[in-house]
Chain A
Amino acid sequence: MHEIKFKVNGEEKTASVESRLLLVHLIRENLSMTGTHIGCDTSSCGACTVLIDGKSAKSCTILAVQINGKDITTVEGLATAEGLHPLQEGFKENHALQCGFCTPGVMLRAVELLEKNPNPTEEEIRWGISGNLCRCTGYNNIVKAIQYAGAKMRGAELPSTEPEFV
């Protein structure tokens, strides 16, 4: 067993873990934070995406021992006392989720995407989230949601959230 010390959503944590324990299981089972999901066993779907020191990572592919001393952000840490994160708002306003299972992972991936590129094009967003699978939305509205969040974070005018279903 290994003693590790880390932060989750700003809170100091310690845990005693087996060498083989995956980060996603540390988060879901040991910490009982179930917003991070598991959708595959080959690192393909991105449902388990979290931020490690601000960089998006698939938590099914990282051992818990590797996060010793690091700072993790999960979906539970996106909203603040002031309210929802712009991505959370963007996803809701633009109907960018249906079953909601992939959503936390896509949003966390998009946090890093917008950090690096505050005003991404549609193509940049599509490539940027290509490590995250969504089976429900067809991605159109996820693209819109990320553009909406980008605009909000830049202080730019918010794009319309009306569906173009004419």
Chain B
Amino acid sequence: MIKCKTSKEIGGMGHSIKRKEDARFIQGKGNYVDDIKLPGMLYMDIVRSPYAYAKILNIDASKALEIPGVVAVVTGKDLEKYNLHWMPTLMSDTQMVLPTDTVMYQAQEVAAVIATSRYIARDGKEAVMVEYEPMKPLINAHKALDADAPLMRPDKEGQTNNHIWHWEAGDKEATDKVFADADVVVKEHMYIPRIHVASIETCGCVASYDKVDNHLTMYMTTQAPHAIRTVIALVAGHVGLTEEKIRVISPDIGGGFGGKVPVYPGYVIAIAVSFLTGSPIKWIEDRSENLQADSFARDYHIDVEMAGTKDGKIQATRFKVLADHGYTDASANPSKFPTGLFSIGTGSYDYGTAFMEADAVYTNKPPGGVAYRCSFRVTEAVHAIERITDIFAKEVNKDPAQLRFENFIKKEDFPWKSPTGWEYDSGDYHAGLQKAMDAIEYDALRKEQVEKRAEGKLMGIGISTFTEIVGAGPSKDFDILGIKMFDSAEIRVHPTGKAIARFGTKSQGQGHETTYAQIIAEELGIPSAHIQIEEGDTDTAPYGLGTYASRSTPTAGAAAAVAARKLRDKARKIAAYLMEVSEEDLEWEPGKFSVKGAPEKSKTIQEIVFAAYTNHPPGMEAGFEATHYYDPPNLTFPSGAYICVVDIDNETFEIKVRRFVAIDDCGNIINPMIVQGQVHGGLTQGIAPAMYEELIYDEDGNILNGTFMDYLVPTAVESPSWETGHTITPSPHHPIGAKGVGESPTVGAPPAIANAIVDALSVYGIQHMDIPITPYKIWKKLKEMGKI
């Protein structure tokens, strides 16, 4: 049981409070971007390229413009007149808004049709005739650096090949030496495929420019409204749209998972058209457009090696990555981290030597490299380390659980310096794995497996014991386009003791309206039911970098606690004044200050707040408000121990996940119900890439599964009944000891599932299979091996 410091009425941390936001969602009263309708609003639809790589010879919009209701057709040449045809990406690369001469991926935006209705805009789109000269595209990242590869980015000065960047971490020389001297070296090539977040709401916006006031209101599906406002000002400042003239409103968001961090061309075109016409412009993507053109995740080719002793002690790891970014690097990593936080990939294990390197290349695929519930490449790294750990265990003939126990960093060794430079804040990996093994009855399962194998049945057990790295981040290292990655909270308590608090983050389903109120309730003793939370309006909320990468609780949640503590300090002063005692004589318990030794003499927080407006001490500033911008001293390091059991049909190779136990450690828990919900959802987004999802391209760059008919998002049938639990190792540096949890299950689940499947197939001598592992892939592999 989680211990709560506050009563249920106050509803601070640890209470499973039902969500405040649900009332509107269950009654159809959410306000998503496509629900916004403004007077005189026009609709935009986008003509997209059927080719992955082609010259645009001509765009003929005349037939479209003849359709009654079609107002305009906008091309790259039109935007070029205002120098708005290119925009910067968050990684300081450049991306076309609309092309002037060449298309670089299938489904790229080619022209925009503006019309008086959604249907007429679509008619107009069908009527725009584009003449292309197709060219042979570069699709295979492994061929990107070949001498005869087409140069993807001749527009970039000094760019003579398709290489984007090289990155390294760790000590190459020391690592090579350990490998050269090691008893045991195992290696594997792993491809972490290109996937898509596929939030059920696609992306879209309503751009509304007021010509009289020279003011833009931009309603959009964004996880980071403040940063986006700054980006818009950087892109459009030269045409007079400066930052004070831009208001970004992120209304209710129907799932984000990282896919709603970037600035997509559609947003910019909508702004440009609204700016030129003075009419509000609505643009809402179709699902197919969303899957085919919006930022992808993953697409990492990883060579991973592990060196160790014969008795199973891990000594070193080596990683080499080839990253396919499509035609521009449109990732959303912190600026100094082109591979995000991939260097967490040394894992939960106690060894001192590692080296990692990565190279990124351009290809004729959609840009991105952002997110799928984990933006900063932790999933890729964790998959590699957790799979190679299993391969190493097999090589030294040890049970994978036992090998992990023997190599875990011990809880007394935290804070722990990783070989790639991180300082893990806290963890108790032994406790987590033990709890997961007890819950699933590991030893009994291993016995059953022996029996099943004797009967010729395929059963596998897979473990993943991951360390996450979230809460970006400390300003000395973390920025996006130079803006430091702090986050903010502003609390205003009204005279009657009720409050409103605003944040620089933006919930997309995480339940911030409930959990942030709980943090403030914990610190101030004002019931969380009396605290209203607002986010997503840049005119009212304090500046922050938004919600992604499990950063809201580590940054804005911390800001809420610190701001509330500032108010508690003020409350103490007021209480001392009201009760005519010194501050030192006062004792705090949630909701009131009382006099030490005379508990009957007390003032509630509500009385104190009222006094702040009606009877505040002379010389003190009136009111009861505080703001804090929290700059974390370190990242937080959640962890988890996941165990998966699979049964595989030995004729059809259908994979059935029989059980899945997830024990998560996200530090102190604000709302167990919400944390559990996050874990459930993350696990389903873990089984998805492990068994179902991959964006597949043919050699001509055609996407083969760009709709929900064939991009397989798990339904309730594919998704197992998840079994969840927790351990608690508070973060020592976080004001409320919390760590963040949203990403963890998506990071931890795929290797547990892959390890289970490979464990089942190990009877055939299989050491590794790339995800998604499907019945067909198993059949094909066994056929190739001559096993069937």
Could you tell me which A residues sit within 8 Å of B by CB distance? 18, 20-21, 25, 28-29, 32-42, 44-45, 47, 74-76, 78-79, 84, 88, 91-93, 95, 97-104, 107, 122, 125-127, 129-143, 162-166
Pairs A-B, 10 closest by C-beta atoms: A35-B28, A100-B25, A101-B254, A99-B509, A138-B680, A98-B509, A75-B28, A44-B708, A34-B35, A40-B287
| With contact pairs A37-B254, A138-B722, A166-B726 given, residues A133 and B201 touching in the complex (Cβ less than 8 Å) | no
Residues of chain B in range 706-725 having any CB-CB distance to chain A below 8 Å = 707-709, 713, 715-717, 719, 721-722, 724-725
Which A residues are in CB contact (< 8 Å) with B284?
38
Binding stretch for chain A, among B14-22, B236-244, B381-389, B479-487: B14-22
Whether the Cβ atoms of A34 and B28 lie closer than 8 Å is yes
Q: A134 CB to closest chain B CB, in angstroms?
A: 7
B191-208 contacts to A (CB < 8 Å): 197-202
Chain A hits for B32, CB < 8 A: 34, 37, 101
Contact of A101 with B18 at beta-carbon distance under 8 Å, contacts A39-B287, A41-B288, A140-B721 already known: no
- CB pair A97 B680 closer than 8 Å: no
Given A95-B674, A100-B25, A165-B675, check contact A45 B708 (CB 8 Å).
Answer: yes
B27 touches A88 (CB 8 A): yes
Interfacial chain A residues near B708, Cβ < 8 Å: 40-42, 44-45, 133
Say if the beta carbon of B598 comes within 8 Å of chain A. Answer: no
CA–CA, A88 to B19, complex, Å?
Answer: 13
Whole-angstrom CA separation of A138 from B552 in the bound complex = 21
B414 at interface (Cβ–Cβ under 8 A)? no
Smallest Cβ-Cβ distance to A140: which chain B residue: B680
Q: How far is the CB of A50 from chain B (nearest CB, A)?
A: 11
In the complex, which of the residues B118, B200, B288 contacts A25, with contact meaning CB atoms closer than 8 Å?
A: B118
Task: Let me know if A140 and B722 touch, CB within 8 A.
Answer: yes
A99-B254 contact given A42-B707, A133-B713, A165-B672, CB 8 Å threshold: yes
Selected from A36, A100, A143, A166, the residue in CB contact (under 8 A) with B716 is: A143
Chain B residues with CB under 8 A of A164: 676, 724
Q: List 11 A-B contacts (CB under 8 A).
A: A35-B27, A39-B254, A41-B708, A93-B18, A98-B509, A98-B678, A99-B256, A102-B200, A103-B25, A137-B680, A139-B716
- The CB with the most chain A CB atoms within 10 A, among B22, B284, B673, B716, is that of B716
Inter-subunit contact A136/B681 (CB<8 Å): yes
Contact B26 A92 (CB under 8 A): yes
Does B510 interact with chain A (Cβ within 8 Å)? yes
CB-CB under 8 A for A141 and B721, given A101-B200, A165-B675: no
Cross-chain contact of B22 among A18, A36, A91, A137 (Cβ < 8 A): A91
B726–A165 contact, CB under 8 A?
yes
Would A126 and B716 be within 8 Å (CB), given that A42-B707, A99-B200 are in contact? yes
Chain B residues with CB under 8 A of A99: 199-201, 252-256, 508-509
B321-329, B401-409, B646-654, B682-690 - the one binding chain A: B682-690
Please report the C-alpha to C-alpha distance between residue A127 and residue B716 in the assembled complex, in whole angstroms: 7
Contacts of B676 in A (CB 8 A): 95, 163-165
**Cross-chain contact A35 with B672 (CB below 8 angstroms):** no
Q: Which chain B residues border A142 with CB–CB below 8 Å? A: 716
Interface membership of chain B positions 267-300, coded 1 if the CB is closer than 8 angstroms to chain A and 0 otherwise: 0000000000000000010111000000000000
Report the separation of the CA atoms of residues A143 and B715 in the bound assembly, to the nearest whole angstrom. Answer: 12
Known contacts A18-B119, A41-B288, A135-B685, A98 near B677 by CB under 8 Å: yes
Q: A92-B26, A103-B25, A138-B681 are in contact. List 9 more A-B contacts (CB 8 A).
A: A25-B119, A45-B200, A88-B27, A102-B200, A125-B716, A133-B708, A134-B200, A138-B683, A166-B726
Which parts of B653-705 form the interface with A (CB within 8 Å)? 672-685
- Answer whether residue B34 sits at the interface, using C-beta atoms and an 8 A cutoff: yes
Q: Is B30 an interface residue (CB 8 A)?
A: yes
A39 to chain B, nearest CB (A): 4
Distance in angstroms from B439 CB to nearest chain A CB is 9
Chain B residue numbers with a CB within 8 Å of A79 are 27
A166 contacts which chain B residues (CB < 8 A)?
725-726
Say yes or no: A88 contacts B26, CB within 8 Å: yes
Residues of A within 8 A of B673 (CB): 95, 163, 165
Residues of A within 8 Å of B672, CB to CB, are 163, 165
Q: A42-B708, A139-B684 are in contact. Are A97 and B201 (CB under 8 A)?
A: no
The reply to whether A135 and B716 form a contact with Cβ atoms under 8 Å apart is no
- Do residues B255 and A130 form an inter-chain contact, with CB atoms below 8 A? no
**Distance between Cα atoms of A85 and B29 in the complex (Å):** 15
Is B596 an interface residue when CB atoms closer than 8 A count as contact?
no
B684 → chain A closest CB, angstroms: 4
Given known pairs A93-B18, A100-B21, the reply for A44 and B709 (CB within 8 Å) is yes
Contact A141 B680 (CB under 8 A): yes
CA distance A122 to B717 in the complex (A): 10
A20 and B119: CB pair below 8 A?
A: yes
CB distance from A146 to the nearest CB of B (A): 10
Distance in angstroms between the alpha carbons of A12 and B540 in the assembled complex: 42
With A47-B200, A98-B510, A135-B681: A35-B34 Cβ-Cβ less than 8 Å? no
In the complex, the answer to whether B200 meets A138 with C-beta atoms within 8 Å is: no
* B200 close to A104 (CB less than 8 A): no
Provide the bound-state CA to CA distance between A101 and B221, in Å.
Answer: 13
- Cβ contact within 8 Å between B30 and A100: yes
> Which residues does chain A contribute within 8 Å of B620, judged by CB atoms?
none
- Which residues of B sit under 8 angstroms from A29, Cβ to Cβ? 118
Q: A95-B18, A125-B716 are contacts. A137–B287 as well, Cβ < 8 Å?
A: no
> Is the Cβ of A133 less than 8 Å from the Cβ of B253?
no
Q: Which residues of B contact A42 (CB under 8 A)?
A: 287-288, 707-709
Q: Is B713 within 8 A of A100, CB to CB? A: no
Cβ of B495 under 8 Å from chain A? no
- Give B670 Cβ to nearest chain A Cβ, in Å: 12
Contacting A at CB under 8 A, from B28-49, are: 28-32, 34-35, 37
Q: Is the CB of B707 within 8 A of A163?
A: no
Inter-chain CA distance A74–B284, complex, in Å, is 22
Chain B positions within 8 Å of A139 at CB level: 680, 684, 715-716, 719
Any A CB within 8 A of the CB of B511: yes
From B674, which residue of chain A is reached at the shortest CB distance?
A95
- Across the two chains, which residue of chain B brings its CB closest to A131? B715
B376 interface hit (Cβ, 8 Å): no
Let me know if B681 and A98 touch, CB within 8 A: yes
Instruction: Say whether B254 contacts A100, CB under 8 Å.
Output: yes
In the complex, whether B543 has a CB less than 8 A from a CB of chain A is no
Interface centre among A21, A32, A131, A139 (most CB of B within 10 A): A139
Whether B26 lies near A138 (C-beta < 8 A) is: no
The reply to whether B28 and A74 form a contact with Cβ atoms under 8 Å apart is yes
Does B212 lie at the interface of the complex (its beta carbon under 8 Å from any beta carbon of A)? no
A46 to B458, CA, bound (A): 35
> Cβ of A129: which chain B residues have Cβ within 8 Å of it?
715-716
Chain A residues with Cβ under 8 A from B27's Cβ?
Answer: 35, 75-76, 78-79, 84, 88
A140 to B680, CA, bound (A): 7
Q: With the chains together, A61 CA to B678 CA distance in Å?
A: 32
